[in-house]
């Protein structure tokens, strides 16, 4: 994995309710701000932290304010126009695009494939040995694919 593929942050979204009716999303964001050496030694994947990339941006209060401001803007666009309005920008940042992946499913299954895109409704599209599949839940992993 190249230096540009070091993990800086992660997002977990839990959906509740009816996708065609009232629903809610709980969004968790984790950002590596400044990892101490004793913590860094125990991480089993390529990573970085904000301090290593841009030390002046590692102020936790300013970073939190900036993230919350931008999240509010994006959620407002999503609420008004749906995912399609954000799709192209999302794809430009998607680290797993056109990568071989392991999909770790909520029921414990694993599905191997290659990410081929994201549908206009935000569903992940993966080319598998069984053909194109759409994933609405699960975790994407690159671990163990080298």
Number of domains in the chain: 2
- Whether residue 120 contacts residue 126, with contact meaning beta carbons closer than 8 Å, is answered with no
Q: What is the mean pLDDT of residues 45-52?
A: 92
Do 45 and 91 share a domain, yes or no? no
Do 36 and 76 share a domain, yes or no? yes
Query: What is the chain's mean pLDDT, rounded?
Result: 88
Q: Is 13 helix (H, G, I), strand (E, B) or coil?
A: strand
Task: Please name which of 17, 10, 82 lies closest in space to residue 43, comparing C-alpha atoms.
Answer: 10
> 21: pLDDT confidence band, cut at 50, 70 and 90?
confident
Q: How far apart are the C-alpha atoms of 122 and 23, rounded to whole Å?
A: 16
Task: Please name which of 47, 29, 28, 25 lies closest in space to residue 37, comparing C-alpha atoms.
Answer: 47
Do 107 and 136 share a domain, yes or no? yes
Q: How far apart are the C-alpha atoms of 58 and 56, rounded to whole Å?
A: 6
Tell which of 47, 65, 81 closes a domain: 81
Q: How far apart are the C-alpha atoms of 132 and 8, rounded to whole Å?
A: 29
pTM of the model: 0.73
Q: What is the CATH number of the domain that holds 135?
A: 2.30.30.100
Do 74 and 93 share a domain, yes or no? no
Domain residues for 94? 82-146
Tell which of 81, 97, 117 closes a domain: 81
- The torsion angles phi and psi of 65, rounded to 5 degrees, stand at -60, -45
According to the model, what pLDDT value does residue 146 have? 58
First-to-last alpha carbon distance for the chain, in angstroms, is 9
Tell which of 81, 107, 134 closes a domain: 81
pLDDT at 79 over 60: yes
Do 64 and 91 share a domain, yes or no? no
pLDDT at 2 over 60: no
Q: What is the mean pLDDT of residues 14-25?
A: 78
* Lookup: tokens for 72: 């509010």
Do 6 and 50 share a domain, yes or no? yes
Do 71 and 3 share a domain, yes or no? yes
Do 31 and 99 share a domain, yes or no? no
- Whether residue 54 contacts residue 31, with contact meaning beta carbons closer than 8 Å, is answered with no
pLDDT in tens, 80-104: 998 999 999 988 888 888 989 999 9
């Amino acid at each position: 994995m190249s230096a540009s593929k070091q993990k800086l942050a992660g997002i977990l979204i839990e959906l509740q309710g009816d996708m065609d009716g009232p629903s809610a999303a709980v969004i968790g964001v984790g950002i590596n701000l400044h990892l101490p050496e004793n913590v860094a030694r125990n991480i089993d994947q390529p990573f970085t932290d904000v301090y290593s990339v841009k030390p002046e941006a590692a102020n936790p209060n300013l970073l939190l304010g900036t993230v919350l401001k931008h999240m509010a803007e994006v959620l407002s666009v999503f609420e008004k126009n749906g995912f399609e309005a954000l799709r192209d920008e999302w794809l430009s940042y998607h680290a797993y695009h056109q990568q071989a992946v392991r999909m770790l499913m909520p029921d414990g299954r694993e599905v191997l494939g290659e990410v081929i895109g994201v549908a206009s409704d935000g569903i992940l599209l993966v080319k598998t040995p069984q053909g194109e599949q759409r994933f609405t839940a699960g975790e994407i992993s690159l671990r163990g694919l080298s």
